[in-house]
């Protein structure tokens, strides 16, 4: 049986499943995001509906958590060599375009641009202006990817995280604080 719950800020469908060995009502969130309530064989559907409504805040938190996990799961899983090469080439094309677009504002002298399989960072900038990006930036929303590009470009002029550096970043990405918080959800 399916039961739809509509709350102030979200709605979801919960599937009720009767189980002969169930002694209590238990909620679970499946990996695909489906909400499942397991109930005793002779349990009351009305009580099950009330139970789900009372637990809607917990369900919301679990659904948000599982959606964040699914966003990052694709980013940091291991890729085969052929997948890595394919995504790296796609990322290279997108990042070259983004560097060109963002650098129209800054007019920095950019060295080489490389795309790599970096484990712990989205990008880096060397002392001579070479930019290196993680191929996984390809999977990020465009706004986040362009923030990373602007961030690394600004390191050409300011090789630190001083207030002057953040002022430079803010010229292209005024809402950089918000975007940095969003980016953390992908790490």
What pLDDT does residue 160 have?
96
User: What class does CATH assign to 81-184?
Assistant: alpha beta
Res 72 pLDDT > 50: no
Cα dihedral sign, 156-153-166-185: negative
pLDDT of residue 68: 52
Domain with CATH 3.30.2010.10 in the chain: 81-184
Instruction: Kindly state the percentage of the chain with pLDDT values over 70.
Output: 90
Report, as an integer, the average pLDDT of 64-72: 57
Residue 65 has pLDDT above 80, yes or no: no
The band of 183, judged by pLDDT with boundaries at 50, 70 and 90, is confident
**pLDDT > 90 in the chain, percent:** 60
């Amino acid at each position: 049986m399916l039961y739809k719950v509509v709350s102030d800020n979200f709605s979801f469908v919960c599937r009720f499943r009767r189980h002969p060995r169930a002694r209590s009502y238990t909620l679970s969130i499946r990996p695909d995001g489906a909400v499942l309530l397991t109930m005793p064989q002779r349990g009351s559907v009305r009580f099950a509906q009330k139970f789900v409504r009372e637990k809607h805040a917990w369900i919301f938190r679990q659904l948000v958590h599982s959606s964040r996990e699914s966003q990052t799961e694709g980013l940091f899983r291991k890729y085969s060599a052929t997948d890595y090469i394919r995504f790296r080439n796609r990322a290279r094309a997108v990042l070259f375009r983004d560097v060109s677009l963002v650098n129209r504002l800054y007019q920095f002298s950019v060295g080489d641009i490389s795309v790599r399989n970096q484990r712990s960072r989205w990008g880096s900038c060397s002392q001579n202006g070479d930019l290196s990006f993680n191929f996984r930036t390809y999977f990020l929303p465009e706004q986040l990817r362009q923030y990373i590009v602007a961030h690394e470009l600004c390191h050409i002029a300011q090789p630190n995280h001083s207030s002057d550096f953040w002022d430079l970043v803010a010229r292209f990405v005024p809402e950089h604080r918000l975007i940095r918080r969003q980016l953390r959800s992908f790490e």
